[in-house]
Structure 1
Amino acid sequence: MKSMPIARIAVGAPLRSLFDYAIPPGAQPAPGARVAVSFGRAKAVGVVVELLGETDCPHDRLKPLSRVIDPEPLLADDDLAFLRWVADYYHHPIGEVVLTALPRRLRSAVATLEAGEPMWELTDAGRAFLQSSAGRAPRQREILDWLQRQTAHIAPQQQLKSIFSGSHAVFKTLCDKGLIASGMRLAATPLAIDSDDGHELNAEQAKAYESVAGKLGEFAVALLDGVTGSGKTEVYLQLATAVLASGKSVLVLVPEISLTPQLYERFRQRLGDTVQMTHSAMTDNEREHAWHRARLGLSRVLLGTRSSIFTPIADLGLVIVDEEHDPSFKQTEGFRYSARDLAIVRGQRAQCPVVLGSATPSLESLRNVQADRYRHLRLDQRAGNAQPPRIDLLDVRDQPLQCGVSAPLLERVDAVLARGEQVMLFLNRRGYAPVLTCFSCGWLSDCPRCDARQTVHRASGLLWCHHCGAQRRVPSVCPECGEDDLHPLGQGTEQLEGYLAERYAQYPLIRVDRDATARKGSLDALLQRLHDADAAILVGTQMLAKGHHFPRVTLVGVLDADGGLYSADFRSTERMAQLLIQVAGRAGRGDRPGQVLIQTRFPEHPLLQTLVRHGYRAFAEQALQERQSASMPPYSHQALLRAEASRRDAAETFLAEVAAWASQVASSEVALWGPVPAPMARRAGKHRVHLLLQAAQRNALHAVLRALPEFAAGLPVAKRVRWHLDIDPIDLY
């Protein structure tokens, strides 16, 4: 067969192969560059993975490339090799994996944006406005005054948006008036590394720093296990400073968008404008600018959420995963990957250290410490003079509750507010009430599309399913019997806020949940109200549990700690313990001692007793022993095959055929559980069925998984079923 130049292309389609295309005369595609191709009857954008001299495909069936989009590759050979490994490990279509690594704009046939960083500069008109407009337009003056204090009166647009959140209209007005001008900067200002930055590490922090810094230039994983408020971020900053001084780059992963701006500001203040951030709330153009700057080495610190793990980074020298235990690092829709686990792989491929930080490490990471795969670096002292809070259980079995709050907790709230201090009440349930019922006939506000209840949202007048998003108006009479006897059952943050606002009308009351912070910039505004207040009450969900510093909060009340004690998910107690400790860590972070009161109807529960009396580490040891005795992760490895269909029998038949096949081809080390209905058997109108595969050794599990997708896709019933494979699942719902 005569050889001809061939390009092997990854196309963003749900197909598990690469596709060969002929390279037309004059075209010079490079691996890592985008190309336009004809794919079936449609046009598509793909990425060149490799160039070949020949192919098994008959030449007369080869289609030519339509167009080379990028004259230079966007992904280096190392990036492509990493993405191919990822696709192989997660058994996911290679094209979808490769396209995930590109910014959203570049998944279409558009030209790349300039690689510079968008800036705003104070103009002569802006300086004149500051001198002549006393008392006018205070928000505009505040921004202009801040710009005037910066070097050369210029600053990155993303930095100003972070500092002055919620001011998009103000920035537009300033631009329209000519008071500020936009521009692009191609390179970050060189960073002057100061070895004496005035932030002295305590003995524990210094030991942790030296342990990681001594491994710069080689692969090693360290679990930075530090109690809340112990100064993990300071260790991150000093490690990043050392990496930058060596000419390398740093990747910092955080679990939540809400945590990114505050950590970004801390890094930016210390490390200058070489710090970039990226997350889903940014515009497509902003994210692409940050992406280019990271891959070209124009910025040397990239701070972002889960998807940042795929960003090409020049000269990667350190990977940091903050709050490594957080389930948000696992993508649970579409391409299901774990950013924390992939951080380890990236560190190994780049031969650089990886730091996993947490006050409540995952059992997987603690197991890796036990097996000597990770070093265990402990920070047991809170930074400064702050002392760990005292944690007590409140038995509420025989207590009357006011909107979920017991009388003893209310007495403590009264005392704390009277001292001019702040209170945080934690209820991980947004909305007004979890369910609406009719006292006459027993009707419940079931979701018509899920095996779940619709939550009452009184402010919007809606019944809202938090699983599929289905909404309807709150009825005025019972839809079943027509009686005017409807009542909400249970409490949510909206109801709790209303009760507390009436009881404590003289104190500021701030509610933080997904509903209250839906508008851009609203979270920053709410937290600023708290920081500006003296005595105040903070009510919220798990959004408050991570990373926030509330120095005046001395009392934390947890209203319902029992949800995770008796769940069908074996990970529920671990997540409950992590959440309780993270919430408790918001108390007593200043110079006043803190107290945490946990309301429960199961005060004798052994794991809860261990957690409160002996702390998270003792709890984790006990939980690990239970997992080991049951041969559950992290002492085994799992893959979950999920199937959903309009008819339950289709999903059951599909998984039954897969299970019969797998039982024949898998080794005896692989156990199959199912098919069984999912814990939520119907969601968004689809019936859901699970097949769980488990093995003590990862190789035995993946041996059968490699052949499973092809077999499953070939089943006749597969056309009536939507299915996906979840490697290392973190929940069974």
Structure 2
Amino acid sequence: MNWCIDVAVQTPAHSALGDVLSYKSPVAVAPGALVRVPLGRREVLGVAWAVRSAGEDPGSEIELKPIAGVLDALPPLGDGWRDLVAFAARYYQRSLGEIALAALPPQLRDLSAVQLARRLKRQAPAACVGGEPAAAVVALTAEQTEALARFEAEPGPFLLFGSTGSGKTEVYLRSVATLLAREPAAQALVMVPEINLTPQLEARFKARFGADAVVSLHSGMTNPQRLASWLAAHGGAARIVLGTRMAVFASMPALRLIVVDEEHDPSYKQQEGARYSARDLAVWRGRREGAKVILGSATPSLESWHRSRPAEGEDAGGSYRRLAMPSRVGAGALPAVRLVDMNLQPPKTVLSGALLDAIGQRIARGEQSMVFLNRRGYAPVLACGDCGWKSECPHCSAFRVFHKIDRTLRCHHCGFTERVPRACPACGNPDIAPVGRGTERLEEHLGELFAPVRRPDGSAVRIARIDADSTRKQGALESQLAAVHAGEVDVLVGTQMIAKGHDFRRITLVSAINPDGALFSSDFRAPERLFGLLMQSAGRAGRDAAYLTAQQSSAEMWIQTHHPQHPLFAALLRHDYAAFAQGELSERAAAGMPPFAFQALLRADARTQEAAQAFLNAASAAAEALPGADRVTRYPAVPLTIQRVANVERAQMLIESGSRAALQKLLAGWQPLLHGLRRQPEGKGVIRWLVDVDPQAI
């Protein structure tokens, strides 16, 4: 008897081939099994999605291709995993195969059944996790104890609203330990927003639960490492999986707990391909699989804050439970915030005299300072004072950034790099100069300013920079962080890479140099991101109360701004996230913006801006005929802020509705129309289009 197998394969984007392709098999294949199937001239990996006898197949008169093989050494992917993939594909408007195959380790696609069986023989057996080592047990605060008690007693999901240094990681560790003590075969997923936060968390979990019980999953690993971690999670050998956003799709048959640390971070939203939110999928997965979910942050996203609101009057409250931990561990105080009014400083002042004096005092006492500037490179622009030439990228509507360390002009959008010209390419003036300031130039400037200063032992001041450029080499980030933790760095300069998650014990002063740009951005989420970034940055200071007492010092956060009266800074001075959130949510409710409305973006990339906008406007007109279109607002097409990247023009259209269901219904009905438009005159010149549901940047 022949069987008809529906297989999810990674079909080309916008191929309109549908979610699954059908193949025939002489034997029944379990749903969720990995299979190898012919696709065009290639043989590709796929996931068996549905199985039925050939007689039940409505298209049985069509001759189907046979599957090439089954990777039967591997247990099938579970119902929960397939439901998660199907939901993500449906909600984020992507094909089933695209999501399913992207969720699997790349090396799995190239292994034959024999090679996979050989790999599985080498896999370690399931780790046996015992109780916590006695040395690892630390005393809990009253707030931590209450949060854990409520976590055990209530269903969740939970928003762990804990100030920086309040001990959120210890709550994660204890909740995992309690779970594993109760269910020895259970699994826990712990997610962080960025790769650079993984090593220190991994060290803490391995110290507590043993190295064999913990694996990592992130894009910084080699393909063999990713495959080994995935197999350990899928087979149940790994009790705890630590990872970035991609780990939300890890196959974990006994998943009982999901932790999303720094849940507010925009990095949880994928920005290429399938634009899913790992945080939102974690909540959905927890509900589907009966796993408890903890979202942790000192500055929660306004969506999570709103969903965790307590019941009040006629408002029944949100669906999340809010666990508050406002105090720092060890009686440590949050840093005092000081605003420096740059309007009172001489023109072109980079670092105010008062801030330099404060950093100098820290150096003299052997303490560390952190200077935060969210712009890498030496200078954002190189310019000619005579003719007005600027270092524009020939392929993008953006400037190339000057990197002094290797004398290059580099576009951070398309990657186009050239050597710095000896003279102005337009007029020949040899005096071309950097305009503005990045972390590389700030590092150099601080080195010049503190060159005469000496540390307590008489040695020269040591300044280090951590950003995407300085950490490019393998192991560079780990060695630089180790130097900071060892006290070998006096002043740490960096981008947002250093602003969140790190537990620096000797930093007593943090400063933000130029944060004003986000105050008046066209993106309504910019103030929320800025407040979170500044509050997270402040949280790096004074984390060790005993160290501050021994040094007879205090923790401070300095912010240099031209707008000291802005309400965002008023809330920051008091470390009052709740007041900031209330103000922002009131404005969003009045304007009908998320979380009180639901949004999507339709983006088009084309050879010309006219072609991109024509496609979007034609798509908007076509949507008029769809059921429920009157409940969804479609705004006119506009260029992106950076409208040209790598010689491709980009435009977007905002779609908004007060009903998530109405928006989803329109998007689903729109898909075939968009595919059809590509073949119409309106689609001429369009390279690709995509739908971004719940966009994080507009």
Q: TM-score, normalised by structure 1?
A: 0.87
The equivalent of 2:534 in structure 1 is: 580
One-letter amino acid of the structure 1 residue matched with residue 339 of structure 2: L
Task: Within 5 Å, give how 1:514-593 maps onto structure 2.
Answer: 514-533=468-487, 536-591=490-545, 592=548, 593=554
Cα deviation, 1:693-720, whole Å, max 9, x if unaligned, reads: 1011101101111111111011124363
2:692 corresponding residue in structure 1: 726
Which residue of 400, 416, 426 maps to 1:454? 400
Structure 1 spans left out of the alignment, 5+ residues:
119-182
User: In 2, distance between residues paired with 1:196 and 1:551?
Assistant: 20
Query: By how many angstroms is 1:403 displaced?
Result: 7.1
Q: Which moved more, 1:521-530 or 1:65-74?
A: 65-74
Tell me the C-alpha RMSD between the 2 structures.
2.0
SS in 2 for 1:81: helix
**Cα shift at 1:195:** 8.9
Tell me how far apart the structure 2 counterparts of residues 650 and 231 of structure 1 sit (CA, whole Å): 53
Q: 1:387/1:50 Cα in 2 relative to 1: closer, same or farther (>3 Å)? A: same
SS in 2 for 1:547: coil
3-state SS of 1:706 partner: helix
Q: 1:655 to 1:6 in 2, by over 3 A?
A: same
TM-score, length of structure 2 as denominator length = 0.91
Given the superposition, is the C-alpha separation of residues 575 and 322 from structure 1 closer, same or farther in structure 2, using an over 3 Å criterion? same
- Structure 2 Cα separation of the partners of residues 570 and 320 of structure 1: 28
Residues 539 and 225 of structure 1: CA distance in aligned 2, closer, same or farther (over 3 Å): same
Does structure 2 retain, via aligned residues, the 8 Å contact 1:30–1:72? no
Deviates more, 1:366-375 or 1:348-357: 366-375
Q: Distance in 2 between matches of 1:319 and 1:545?
A: 24
Larger deviation, residues 39-48 vs 546-555: 39-48
Aligned to 2:143: 204
Match of 1:33 in 2: 33
Q: Does structure 1 residue 360 correspond to structure 2 residue 299?
A: yes
Aligned match of 1:250: 188
**Residue 221 of structure 1, CA deviation:** 0.6
Cα deviation digits, residues 38-75 of structure 1 (max 9, x gap): 22344332211010222222423322223223354441
Amino acid at match of 2:645: R
* Bigger shift: residues 63-72 or 47-56: 63-72
- Inter-partner Cα distance in structure 2 for 1:587 and 1:114: 50
Give the 5 Å matches for 1:266-281: 266-272=204-210, 273-281=212-220
Q: Give the whole-Å Cα distance in 1 for the aligned partners of 2:503 and 2:68.
A: 54
Supply the distance in 1 between the matched residues of 2:561 and 2:514 (Cα, whole angstroms): 6
Secondary structure class of the residue paired with 2:629: coil
Residues 270-315 of structure 1: CA deviation (Å, up to 9, x unaligned): 1113111111111111111111111121111111111000011121
Letter in 2 for 1:634: P
Could you tell me how far 1:668 is from its partner in structure 2? 2.4
Pairing 1:63–2:65 present = yes
Between the aligned residues of both structures, percent identity stands at 43
In 2, Cα distance between equivalents of 1:570 and 1:677: 17
Report the alpha carbon displacement of residue 29 of structure 1 after superposing the two structures with TM: 2.4
CA contact (8 A) 2:387 2:427 kept: yes
1:333 paired residue number: 272
1:36 counterpart letter in structure 2: R
Supply the distance in 2 between the matched residues of 1:468 and 1:632 (Cα, whole angstroms): 32
1:491-541 CA distance string (max 9 Å, x none)? 111111112222223211111111111111111211222222377111111
Return the alpha-carbon distance in structure 2 between the equivalents of residues 44 and 116 of structure 1.
19
Partner SS for 1:570: coil
Say if 1:347 and 1:353, in contact at 8 Å, map to a contact too. Answer: yes
CA offset at residue 36 of structure 1? 2.3
Provide the rounded CA distance (Å) in 1 between the counterparts of 2:544 and 2:421.
Answer: 47
Report 1:216-235 matches (<5 A): 219-235=155-171
Residue 571 of structure 2, aligned match among 610, 630, 646: 610
Q: Deviations over 1:641-687 (max 9, x none)?
A: 00011122221111111111223324322111121111222122111
How many angstroms apart in 1 are the aligned matches of 2:473 and 2:384? 34
Residues 1:298 and 2:237 aligned together: yes
When residues 21 and 699 of structure 1 are mapped into structure 2, their CA distance, relative to the original with a 3 A threshold, is closer
1:236 aligns with one of 160, 163, 172 = 172
Cα distance change of structure 1 residues 184 and 30 upon mapping to structure 2, 3 Å threshold: closer
**Residue deviations 1:623-647, cap 9 Å, x none?**
1111111000111000110001112
1:444-488 residue CA offsets vs partner (Å, 9 max, x unmatched): 111111111111000111111112211111111001111112010
Residue 402 of structure 1 and its aligned partner are, at CA, apart by 7.2
Instruction: Answer yes or no: is the 8 Å Cα contact 2:236–2:253 preserved in 1.
Output: yes
Per the alignment, residue 324 of structure 1 pairs with 263
Secondary structure in 2 aligned to 1:60?
coil
User: Are 2:603 and 1:637 aligned?
Assistant: no
Contact (CA 8 Å) 2:439, 2:465: kept in 1 or not?
Answer: yes
Distance 2:128 2:575 in 1: 49
Structure 2 Cα separation of the partners of residues 497 and 418 of structure 1: 19
Does structure 1 conserve the Cα–Cα contact (< 8 Å) formed by 2:133 and 2:208?
A: no
Which residue in 1 is equivalent to 2:314?
none
Deviation at 1:184, TM superposition (A): 5.7
For the Cα contact (< 8 Å) 1:422–1:534, is it kept in 2? no
Letter in 2 for 1:230: S
- Tell me which moved more, 9-18 or 282-291: 9-18
User: Within the alignment, does 1:703 sit opposite 2:687 as a pair?
Assistant: no
Q: How much does 1:401 deviate?
A: 6.6
Q: 1:77 aligns with which of 62, 76, 79?
A: 79
Q: 8 Å contact 1:16–1:92 — kept in the other structure? A: no
Cα shift at 1:423: 1.0
1:654 alignment partner in structure 2: 615
Per-residue deviation, 1:116: 7.8
Instruction: Say if 1:36 and 1:46, in contact at 8 Å, map to a contact too.
Output: yes
Moved more, 100-109 or 384-393: 100-109
Which of residues 72, 95, 98 in structure 2 aligns to 1:96?
Answer: 98
Is the 1:534–1:552 Cα contact (8 Å) retained in structure 2? Answer: no
How far off is 1:430 after superposition?
0.7
Distance 1:34 1:490, change over 3 A: same
**Separation of aligned partners in 2, 1:40 and 1:531:** 54
User: What is the distance in 2 between the residues matched to 1:37 and 1:530?
Assistant: 51
SS at match of 2:331: coil
Q: Secondary structure at 2:690's aligned position in 1?
A: strand
Q: Counterpart of 2:329 in 1: which secondary structure?
A: coil
Contact 2:264/2:300 (<8 A) preserved = yes
> Does 2:409 correspond to 1:470?
no
